[in-house]
Structure 1
């Protein structure tokens, strides 16, 4: 009788989730109690968008903040754990509580271990009853199958986790490499700009110094001519005070100097610099660069189709280059050669390096070919 009461008490303080005695029991507003770990880590609880969950037993909504520690149940569990079964009582732990018969059968519908008398009762009438050994075997098989599936899932999860770690490492490496490349390229550009700046400044200095030297030489020459003219004028002024006889006697010399003297004008020097530095429009260059970067995501690899090759053309082995060899006078196609790839929709980008001005320009063509002689093209 005491054993039956003990078993009933144990059922009352058993967690419905882990089926073990309560550990730090928490109670809900509906009155049901669970282990703290079981109710807080319950992944199967229906959680509403507002953060509320439902009781695993009755389904009533509750807020995780309204859980409270049930001290009364905790004390009962503590006392129950202290109870030590005697050897005689321990031998009876596998007996039916109601009939005190050995538990040898398993009810599939109720999922309980029962005795022979329970099997014959109205409660289990029409139920599928198995020997405990058979039920345990089936349960073990199901358990092993579940373990096998979960271990496989675990391996896949570990592999995916490793793949993600590897991908993160790869992305970090790519980012670091690209960062270094960008810094290197901009340092190179800065170095080029600094070099160009020094060259432009040197050219400006050379041109300015050369012009200043010319102006200095012209200024010195004009100064010398001014001194000579000053002396000549002074001499003529002095002679103008001479007597008539003296003036007439030296008239030829005076006229000779005045007639042969001509002012030598310096060469004209441009008042503007021969060349002025014009910096390239970096904003326009960056705009074009960004546009090219944007279309790179639509890049496609195009090869040429050797099966519709014009007989006047020679295709390279990698099917990427074609050379005109005008051997045959007849043009078999309006278009020299087609690409192997075709597209029915979407955006696509490729580049063509065209050398020379002979032949048709690159075109986008449809797949419609009339008698192998006409292609509809769009330039």
Structure 2
């Protein structure tokens, strides 16, 4: 206990009465009291800054002192260093003894007197120097583990940052796609509006012409009737001999006059557009442009079998037939007989029997003459694909992966030649699958099909 008391007394001696901390660079003044150098310097500066002629005074005894009396106190500085070392060494707060033992049960530092106290009696203890390496190693292992976790955390933070960036990028791309699709839909509906208005205007002109012709006929008949009425009224005012003279001819000629009444025309316009039905019933809207597509045997790959009506293509064993320069060699493809150079054209493809994969769309007229080709819009191909490896894809450059909520059994293809657009629809759900970016078409475009092994595609004829 004496050690703790002595330490406490030394600490009191080494504490600056101005800042109440262990002195830093201790100095003594004329009266013998000691303080931190910075604290005494502060008193001297304050005294110099006042207009009073009084000398600065000691904070403890109020004895005057001068700057020249300030001297470094080395002995006190050494004492302070010793106190700092004692603080680093740590003493038992209860007994004031050096903590040189470690209780393995309670895992805490104790002194020799603590070891004999009831609290730690019978516990396994060891010297601090003996257990220090083992616990240091354990802590270093934890530090290594925590550092690895921290490194992992940094990587994960970077990953999340990249994911956030990618997510924002994906959202922006999806926003552009949605905006593009709606622009295309707006353009489509604008064209539909113009078409309906043209038809309404044509109907208007036709009925106006009929009405004007009927009106002109009535004007002419009215004038003729007016002349007859005046003629007969004049005759009625003549004498009996004159009235009866030629009355037989007059009766015969005028009694048969009848008014030609124009046909009653319906004033209800026949041009009707149900906008909600046009917008919601995709299939009904598209079928207005549906064309009958048949397969061209002259362009078929030698492994493709065409049905007699040329609406079904199946891939099987190579067929014994003469190769044509115009046919596909490396690709199991076939083109439609029909070519498109203007306006809108729509056709449907039943893909329900092509589970192993297919390709369909439109392409340029002469692309099959090339042996090997990177197919895409840049080479005259606009098509989508189903393959077992990558699922549904649009063959843009680079390819675009397609996520469909429901696999299509019937795919609709709409070509808008003037707009430079190709649309693909899932007619099973009536939803849009994909729209190729706007292109500038030139020349003839033809339907394009490819089937994988043991698969077939069917082109249903348009509904009447």
TM-score range normalised by the length of the shorter chain = 0.3 to 0.5
Q: Which has the higher strand share?
A: 2
1 or 2 for the larger relative contact order (CA 8 Å, sep ≥6)? 2
Q: TM-score normalized by structure 1? A: 0.46
Which of the two has greater helix per residue?
1
